[in-house]
Chain A
Amino acid sequence: QSVLTQPPSVSGAPGQRVAISCTGSSSDIGAGYDVHWYQQLPGTAPKLLIYGNSNRPSGVPDRFSGSKSGASASLAITGLQAEDEADYYCQSYDNNLSGPLFGGGTKLTVL
C-alpha cells in the first residue's frame, strides 16, 4: 500500500462535529502500529495534532480526538471553528517501508 486511505474532503458548519477516517492494511495499522495525525494550515508545515492513536500534545484543544480500531483510525473534531480549516494527514509505521507511511490527506472545509 503506497498510502493510507483518507477521504479527499470533508466539510461541516461551525459548531458541528466532523470525523476523518484513515484506513490501512495488515502491514501498517493492522499490524498493530500506532496512528498519528497532523494538521497542515495553508502554506505552513504540518503540525502534530494527535500521537499514539489518541494523545494530544500540549496546546492542542480537546476538541480534537483520535481513535483506532483494527486496521483503521479516525480523527474527530467537535465544535468546529473557522480556524480548523486545513488539510489533515494520518500516519503510521509500515513494515514494507520500514518507515512512516502517510495518508493521502483530507481537506476540511468549514462552511
Chain B
Amino acid sequence: QLQLEGSGPGLVKPSETLSLTCTVSGGSVSRSNYYWGWIRQPPGKGLEWIGTIFYGGSAHYNPSLKSRVTISLDMSKTQFSLRLRSVTAADTAVYYCARHLPIDYGDYIDSWGQGTLVTVSS
C-alpha cells in the first residue's frame, strides 16, 4: 500500500524559503510510469498544481510559480522535496505531496499525502 508523508516547518517568515519533504513508502520513486508532485490549497480555497518531477530527475512547474520553485528527487531515500523561495502571505496553504500519472496514462493523481499546513508570517 503506497503511502506518502509530507514533513517540514509549519511556519516560514516572509521572503524566506519554504522547504518540504515527502517520504514515499510501499513503492518506488524510480518507476517510470509515475511522476511525483506538489499541489497546494490556500485556506478555504481550491487546489493549485505547483510542479511535478519525473523519475529521471526532470521537473516541470506551474508557470505562475516557476521562477521561485525547485522540486528534487532523492531515489536513494525514496523522497522528493519542494523548495519555494521568497514566500509571501499568499503562499500560506496546505501543501500536498502526490503521485501523479503521466499524461499518456491519464494525468490523474492517484495517491495523496496527508497535507502540511505552512503559514507565512513574521
Q: Which A residues are closer than 8 A to B by beta carbons? A: 3, 33-34, 36, 38, 45-48, 51-52, 57, 89, 91-93, 96-105
Complex CA–CA separation, A46 to B106 (angstroms): 18
0/1 string, B39-61, CB within 8 A of A gives 1: 10000001111011000000010
Assembly CA distance A98 to B58 (angstroms)? 14
Question: Taking A99-B49, A104-B46, A105-B46 as contacts, is the C-beta distance between A91 and B108 under 8 angstroms?
Answer: yes
**Are A101 and B108 CB-contacts (below 8 A) given A45-B113, A45-B115?**
no
Quote the shortest CB–CB distance from B22 to chain A (angstroms): 12
Give chain A residues whose Cβ lies under 8 Å from the Cβ of B49. Answer: 97, 99-102
Residue of A nearest to B48 (CB): A102
A-B contact pairs, 24 of them (CB 8 A): A34-B107, A34-B108, A45-B96, A45-B113, A45-B114, A46-B47, A48-B110, A51-B106, A52-B106, A52-B108, A57-B110, A89-B47, A93-B103, A93-B107, A96-B63, A97-B49, A99-B52, A99-B62, A100-B108, A100-B109, A102-B47, A102-B49, A103-B46, A105-B46
Known: A34-B106, A46-B109, A99-B51. 5 other contacts (CB 8 A): A3-B46, A45-B96, A51-B108, A89-B46, A99-B60
- Chain B residues within 8 Å of A97, by CB: 49, 62-63
Q: In the complex, what distance in Å separates the CA atom of A46 from the CA atom of B70?
A: 24
Say whether, besides A33-B107, A34-B107, A97-B63, A46 and B112 are in contact (CB < 8 Å).
yes
Most buried by B among A33, A99, A104: A99
* Nearest chain A CB to B40 CB, angstrom units: 11
Q: How far is the CB of B104 from the nearest CB of chain A, in Å? A: 11
Report Cα–Cα, A33/B63, bound state, in Å.
20
